[in-house]
Chain A
Amino acid sequence: GAGVSQTPSNKVTEKGKYVELRCDPISGHTALYWYRQSLGQGPEFLIYFQGTGAADDSGLPNDRFFAVRPEGSVSTLKIQRTERGDSAVYLCASSLIRSSDTQYFGPGTRLTVL
C-alpha cells in the first residue's frame, strides 16, 4: 500500500519568507509526527499529533514553527520568517493507533533557506 508521502520533496526559499510543508500519512494512521534532520545528524523530534490535536509540541524550536492537522489526516508544518538555520530535511512519520506503534517515515522535504 501507499506509504507516507511528503510534498514538496525540495523547497528553496529566501530568508524571511513563509513556507508550508505537507505530510500525507498512511491511511488509517491516527498518530502523526514531525522530525527535523540537519546534515550529518540524526532526526530530531518536533511535534506529535494524536488525531487532530497536538499531543506534544515540545520539540518545536520557537514560535515561528507551527503545525496543524485539521481533519486528523493530512498535516502541514508552517514556518514563518524563515532563517538560514532552518535549512534541514523535515521528516514526517505516522503510526497506526497508539504512540507505541511502529513509526513509518516519509522521504522528507529538503528545505533550503538562502
Chain B
Amino acid sequence: EPEVTQTPSHQVTQMGQEVILRCVPISNHLYFYWYRQILGQKVEFLVSFYNNEISEKSEIFDDQFSVERPDGSNFTLKIRSTKLEDSAMYFCASSEGTAYNEQFFGPGTRLTVL
C-alpha cells in the first residue's frame, strides 16, 4: 500500500542552524502539507502546497520557513535559522485532492533544537 515517507526520523541541530526535512508523498497525489506537533500539544497546520505554489499558510509559517518540491517526488520543509521553540514533531501529508480531501500522513520527523 502506498505511503508517505519522511527522512530523517530524528534530527538534532543547534539553535541558529538550517535544517531541511524531507518527505516523499504518495506518487499520484497533488496536494502536500506540513503540520507540526510540539510535545504534548495538538497537531497544528503549517502550510499547504499545490501546483508548485503555497496554497495556504498559518501564522506559524513565517519567513524562517520555506517549502519546495525540488523534483517530481520530494517535498521539503526548510527552517533557515532554527529556534528552541521549533523543537517538535513535523508531519508531512499528501492528498489526491478528492472531494473529501483525505490526507495521508507520514511517520514524522522529530526535530530537536539545542
Check if A and B associate.
no
Question: Chain B residues in contact with chain A, CB under 8 A?
Answer: none
